[in-house]
Amino acid sequence: MLPNKIELVLVTGMSGAGRTTAARALEDLGWFVVDNLPPRLLPQLVASVAESGSTHRVAVVIDVRGGSNFDELPDEITELRAAGNDVRILFLEASNEILVRRFESNRRPHPLQGGGRVLTGLDSERAMLSDLRGQADLVVDTGSLNVHDLRRKIEAAFRIDENVALRATVMSFGFKYGVPVDADLVADMRFLPNPYWVPELREFNGRDAGVSDYVTSQPAAREFLDRYAELLDLV
């Protein structure tokens, strides 16, 4: 990819096939995500992002909600690629049976059904998307996938850096004040000897070396930390 050019993923496909889930997964991976952009605005978006230099990875959700503008998409893709941008197309689909079931469970109309049936809208949409599907770099059938399965597929295909470190915040708290509402993992350490009951340590806290040395020197603490580290490696 040329300097100042953009890595662009176009997220498209059938309504109800998981475009929103895919877009959220890409956003969590660090992509700049734009939803329901008219195809004619793609060049301006790419130029603006390239000029700002804030990111060079952009994901755009484009679908038949754009109406007649959708027909302009192939030409816009050709122009962007000719300018040196890396453009990939992610196409999401599922069988009509699966999609009808999803629309019925959500009680939402298909964008193309008008006053007719959901199935009629799906057939029209599939016909409109047939050429774009043929150009897709990755086609994912989500019929047998749940939200987590789809996210894993997106992460495997579009992860920016395999070496991104896990971000973790470690904090202590008193159970009498309640568990922190944003805690994902809670370890109850009350089985360890409490330094509060050591007279010379009572006026200090866990940020003081004497307290931390006392706790970590306990055999039970060392064994727990080793085993807990193994658990974290597993998850």
Q: Which residue has the tokens 């997106």?
A: 154
Instruction: List the one residue out of 47, 16, 29, 51 whose CA is nearest residue 147.
Output: 16
**pLDDT at 68 (0 to 100):** 59
**pLDDT at 161 (0 to 100):** 63
**pLDDT at 1 (0 to 100):** 46
Q: Is the pLDDT of residue 113 over 60?
A: yes
pTM: 0.69
Delimit the domains of the chain by residue range. 7-158, 175-234
**pLDDT at 118 (0 to 100):** 87
Tell the CATH superfamily of the 7-158 domain. Answer: P-loop containing nucleotide triphosphate hydrolases (3.40.50.300)
**pLDDT at 52 (0 to 100):** 86
Question: In the structure, what pLDDT confidence band is assigned to residue 19 with cuts at 50, 70 and 90?
Answer: very high
**pLDDT at 89 (0 to 100):** 94
